[in-house]
Amino acid sequence: MRGFPWRETIRTGLLGSVVALHLSLVGMVEAFSRREIVKDVVTLGQLLLLLVVLVAGYLAARKAAERNKAYAIIAGLIVGLIIGAVLAALALSIKPLHLRQVFTNASRGLVRVLLFDKKGMAGVLTLLAVMGGGGIAAGLLELLPNHVRRPLLYALIATLTLGLLRDIFAVILPRSISRFFYTSSGLTVKGAVVLAVAWTLYFAAAERWGQQVRGRLEALPPEKQKPLRLGAYAIALILLLVLPKLLGERGGYIFEVLDIVGIYIVMGLGLNIVVGFAGLLDLGYVAFFAIGAYTMAVLTTPELPAVRQYIPPMDFWEALPLALLASLLSGIILGVPVLKTRGDYLAIITLGFGEIIRLLVISDALKPILGGAQGITGVARPHLFGWTAKTPQDFFYFILVAIAIGFFISVRLKDSRLGRAWKAIREDEDVAIAMGIDHVATKLTAFATGATLAGLSGAIFSSKLFSIAPHSFNILISIYVLSLLIVGGIGSLPGVVVGAFALVGLPELLREFAEYRMLVYGAALVMMMIFRPQGLWPETLHAEEYARRKGTSTAKTATAGARE
C-alpha cells in the first residue's frame, strides 16, 4: 500500500461521519425511515446515510485513484467503514450514556434504524457491512468510465425519485399499472428492478445518441425550429389545462400541492425581477405578499365591523385590482427610502420592514382593521359567469394565469431598455449611473413590479385558503422564495419553476420533511453559493452559447439581421 493517501481518506471518512452524525441526531434519519422507497428493502432514512457514504467514498476514491486504480475501492471501503463505525458507536452509546436527556432525537427508534432492526452485535455487523458495501460501490463508481457512470447514476436517481413520489404516481396511474409498481408505501421490488433497467437503457441511449438528435434539431433552419418549439409549448399547455379534468376526484391532493407550488412560482417570478434582474436582495418580500393577501381579505370578508361600517364587502374581482394597487403602492412607498441604500444594508432594511409589518398585523392596536393574531376568515372566492372557484383544481387555473402573467412580464422586460438598466445596476451601480441611468427610478420600478406580483400571489392565496392569519407571513416565506431562486438559478425563469418544485413541491409531498425544511434550505443556500452559484438551471446566456457553439458565424448573421 505504498503511497496510499491515508490521511485524506481518514479525514474524508471523519467528515462524512460528522455529517452522518448530524443527520442522525437532528432526527432526519429516523423521521425519514418511516418512508419506504422500495418496500422492505430500503427506506429514505437509510438512503440518506448511504448517500453520505457514497459521496464521501466517491471523493476519497477519486483522490486515491490518482495513485493507483485499485486504491479507489480500498479508500471507498475505508470511508464506509469509518462512517459505519461512528454510527455504530452512536447507536451503542445512546442508552448507556443517556444521550436522550440532551439530544431529543437520540431515541430508541434511531438505534433501531441504525442497527437495521437487529440487536447488538448482529446489528453492528449489518451496519458495517452496508456502509462498507456503500463505500465499495462508491469506489467502483469512480473506476467506471464516464459514459457508463452517468447513465447508471441518473437511472438510480430517477428510480429512487419515482419511489419517493409514490403518493403522486400511485394515484395518477391506472390501477393495474400502479399495483405492479407501487405498494402502500414505496415501490415493489419487481417494480424497482423494472424501472431501474428501463431508466438505465434510456439514459444509456440518451448518452449515446442524445447529442446527435439535439445537433440535428439545432441544424434546422430557424423557420422550422419555431413551429416545433411552439408545438411543444402548445402540447404542454393543453396537458396542463386538461390535467385537472383527467384526474378528476383523485387529483385533489396533487392539485393542492400544485397550487402551493404555483403560488410560490408567482412570488418567485416577482422576486426574480428584484433580486435576479436588478440585484436588490429583498428579505422583506413577504410583506408585499401579506399586503396583497390582507387587502383581499379585509375588503371581501363579512367580518371586521370596524371596516364594514364604511365599506360593504366586495367580491373577488372588485378587490383584486385594489389588492394589486395596494401592493404596488406599498412597493413604491417602502422602496423610496430603502433604495437609497445599497447591497447588504438593503437586505437588512427590507428585513426590518417585513418584521415591522408583521408586528403591526399581529398587534392589538390594529386588530379592528386587520383581525389581529386570529386573522380573518370568509375571504371571497373568484367567480366567472356564475361559476365559483372552490376546489384546488379550480384555483389551479387562476394560478396558471397568474404564472403566465408573471412569465410574460419577465420575458418581455428582460431584454428591453428597462431590463438592461436593471442588469447594469446589478453588475455595477456606479457605472450604470455614469451611463446616465436614473438608478432610483430604475430600482423603484423593479421593486414595484416585484411587489405587485407578490401582491397578486397573496390575493389568490388568501382567497384560496378562505382565511388568513399573520403566522402565514413570517420572514421564513421570504427565505423560501429566496432559496428557490438561488437553487433554481438566480435570474433564470425556468430556474424559478425548477426551484419551486424542488423546494416547495417536495416538502409538501413528503410531510415528514416539513420539520427539516429550513435545515435543508439553509444547507442548500450555503452549498449552492460554494459549489454551484449559478443554480440548477442557470440563466441561459444566449451570448455565451452563440459564441461557443457557432464561433463567429452566428454573430455575423445577427449583425446582418441588425443591419436590415
Q: Which amino acid is at 359?
A: L
Bridge partner list, 388: 383
Rank residues 391 and 472 by Cβ distance to other proteins and give the closer one.
472
Considering only the stretches 90-98, 200-208, 394-402, 537-545, report the one whose residues sit in contact with other proteins under the rule CB under 8 A.
Answer: 537-545
**Stretch 267-306: interaction string toward other proteins, x if CB under 8 A:** ------------x-x-x-----------------------
Considering only the stretches 149-157, 301-309, 353-361, 374-382, report the one whose residues sit in contact with other proteins under the rule CB under 8 A.
Answer: 353-361
Rank residues 439 and 464 by Cβ distance to other proteins and give the closer one.
439
Assess 407 for contact with other proteins (CB under 8 A).
no
How many residues contact other proteins, by CB under 8 A? 93
SS (H, E, C) 118-172: CCHHHHHHHHHHHHHHHHHHHHHHHHCCHHHHHHHHHHHHHHHHHHHCHHHHHHH
Chain position carrying cell 444566449: 542
Q: Which amino acid is at 414?
A: K
C-alpha cell at 219: 441544424
* Neighbouring residues of 551: CB distance < 8 A, sequence distance ≥ 6: none
SS3 457: helix
SS (H, E, C) 22-79: HHHHHCHHHHHCCCEEECCCEEHHHHHHHHHHHHHHHHHHHHHHCCCHHHHHHHHHHH
Q: Which of 325, 352, 378, 401 binds other proteins (CB under 8 A)?
A: 352
How many CB atoms within 10 Å of residue 54? 22
**Stretch 460-479: interaction string toward other proteins, x if CB under 8 A:** ---------------x---x
SS3 375: coil
Rank residues 224 and 417 by Cβ distance to other proteins and give the closer one.
417
Q: Which of 356, 384, 401, 404 binds other proteins (CB under 8 A)?
A: 356
Considering only the stretches 113-121, 143-151, 234-242, 520-528, report the one whose residues sit in contact with other proteins under the rule CB under 8 A.
Answer: 520-528
Q: Which of residues 4-23 bind other proteins (CB under 8 A)?
A: 22
Considering only the stretches 1-9, 100-108, 120-128, 208-216, report the one whose residues sit in contact with other proteins under the rule CB under 8 A.
Answer: 100-108
Q: What is the nearest approach in angstroms of other proteins to the Cβ of residue 58?
A: 20
Q: Which of residues 426-445 bind other proteins (CB under 8 A)?
A: 427-428, 430-440, 445
Rank residues 231 and 551 by Cβ distance to other proteins and give the closer one.
551
Phi-psi group of 207: left, alpha or beta (phi > 0 → left; psi -120 to 50 → alpha; rest → beta): alpha
Assess 62 for contact with other proteins (CB under 8 A).
no
Assess 529 for contact with other proteins (CB under 8 A).
yes
Assess 225 for contact with other proteins (CB under 8 A).
no
Q: What is the nearest approach in angstroms of other proteins to the Cβ of residue 558?
A: 6
For residue 105, what is the DSSP state?
T
φ, ψ for residue 383, nearest 5 deg: -135, 150
Alpha carbon distances (Å) from 303 to 150, 307, 375, 376? 59, 8, 10, 7
Considering only the stretches 196-204, 246-254, 379-387, 409-417, report the one whose residues sit in contact with other proteins under the rule CB under 8 A.
Answer: 409-417
Assess 516 for contact with other proteins (CB under 8 A).
yes
Is residue 384 within a helix (H) or strand (E), and if so which, with residue range?
strand 383-384
Q: Which of residues 302-341 bind other proteins (CB under 8 A)?
A: 336-338, 340-341
Rounded Cα gap, residues 64 and 59, in angstroms? 9
SS3 554: helix
Assess 102 for contact with other proteins (CB under 8 A).
yes
Assess 525 for contact with other proteins (CB under 8 A).
yes
